[in-house]
């Protein structure tokens, strides 16, 4: 029963970011888009309000947080890469995605989540939900997973930042679908500003550099897509 429940936990998060499963964890945020309704969320770069999952968290972060072996990390990375490629194949430029496409995406995420979970030992399975939730909270307030280690946040900073994220998540959950596009964007921007005030000058420089690099990647991706 434990295996079933943890799979459901991760799948609930992964369905929010099906279309861009890699980008959410790898890019720093800019003020962004609201969650879509009635279909899987279009991937949000840097965590614009979505839930991360075992599929989208960079392997380096999982390896550190779950103490993965090199063999586990290699296999998980292979699963993530294959899933990204399969999802990308369902997103043809200029082509509207169908309900069947979204169902295939769900199936791909279900399969990948179970494959990754099967590689974890019992202790890692137990620790994974809390770790991924924490990563999601940092991403929500504009702190990408890829720079958390470099930021070297103090325990006090972490506590306060996670409190900001928790408050923002509760406020966003209370919004109506009609309110989410505008009000949700305002809440995310406000949470980023609050979190940024808790950073030192050196930490802010690390974040700014990550944001600039993310913007450059987005521009390159946009140019390649034209």
In a structure prediction context, what are the per-residue pLDDT tens digits for the chain, which is 226 residues long? Answer: 444 444 444 444 443 333 333 333 333 333 333 333 334 433 333 333 456 889 999 999 999 999 999 999 999 999 999 999 999 888 877 778 889 989 999 999 999 999 999 999 999 999 999 999 999 999 999 999 989 999 999 999 999 999 999 999 999 999 998 888 889 999 999 999 999 999 999 999 999 999 999 888 888 877 765 5
Can you give the residue range of the structural domain that contains 56? 2-225
pLDDT at 224: 65
Which candidate, 162, 145, 180, 153, places its Cα nearest to that of 58? 145
Contacts of 166-170 with C-beta under 8 Å, sequence gap 24+, read 166/137, 167/191, 168/140, 168/141, 169/137, 169/140
Phi then psi for 148, rounded to 5 degrees?
Answer: -60, -40
Total number of domains constituting the chain: 1
**215: burial class by Cβ within 10 Å (0-12, 13-18, 19+)?**
middle
> What was the pLDDT predicted at 195?
97
pTM of the model: 0.70
Structural element, H or E, at residue 178: helix 177-197
Write the burial class of residue 64 (CB in 10 Å: 0-12 exposed, 13-18 middle, 19+ buried).
Answer: middle
Rounded Cα distance between 125 and 96, Å, is 37
Is the backbone of residue 50 left (phi > 0), alpha (psi -120 to 50) or beta?
beta
């Amino acid at each position: 029963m434990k295996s079933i429940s943890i799979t459901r936990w991760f799948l609930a998060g992964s369905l929010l970011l099906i279309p861009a499963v890699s980008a959410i964890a790898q890019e720093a945020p800019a003020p962004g888009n609201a969650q879509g309704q009635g279909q899987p969320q279009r991937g949000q770069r840097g965590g614009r309000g979505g839930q991360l999952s075992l599929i989208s968290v960079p392997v380096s972060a999982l390896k550190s947080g779950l103490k993965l072996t090199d063999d586990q990390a290699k296999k998980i990375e292979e699963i993530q890469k294959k899933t990204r490629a399969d999802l990308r194949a369902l997103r043809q430029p200029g082509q509207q995605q169908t309900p069947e496409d979204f169902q295939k995406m769900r199936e791909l995420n279900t399969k990948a989540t179970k494959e990754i979970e099967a590689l974890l030992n019992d202790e890692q399975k137990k620790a994974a939900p809390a770790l991924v939730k924490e990563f999601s909270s940092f991403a929500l307030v504009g702190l990408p997973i890829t720079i958390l280690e470099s930021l070297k946040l103090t325990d006090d900073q972490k506590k306060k930042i996670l409190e900001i994220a928790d408050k923002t998540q509760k406020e966003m959950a209370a919004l109506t679908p009609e309110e989410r596009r505008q009000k949700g964007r305002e809440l995310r921007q406000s949470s980023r500003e609050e979190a940024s005030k808790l950073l030192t000058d050196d930490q802010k420089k690390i974040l700014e550099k990550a944001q600039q690099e993310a913007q450059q990647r987005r521009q390159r991706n946009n140019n390649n897509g034209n």
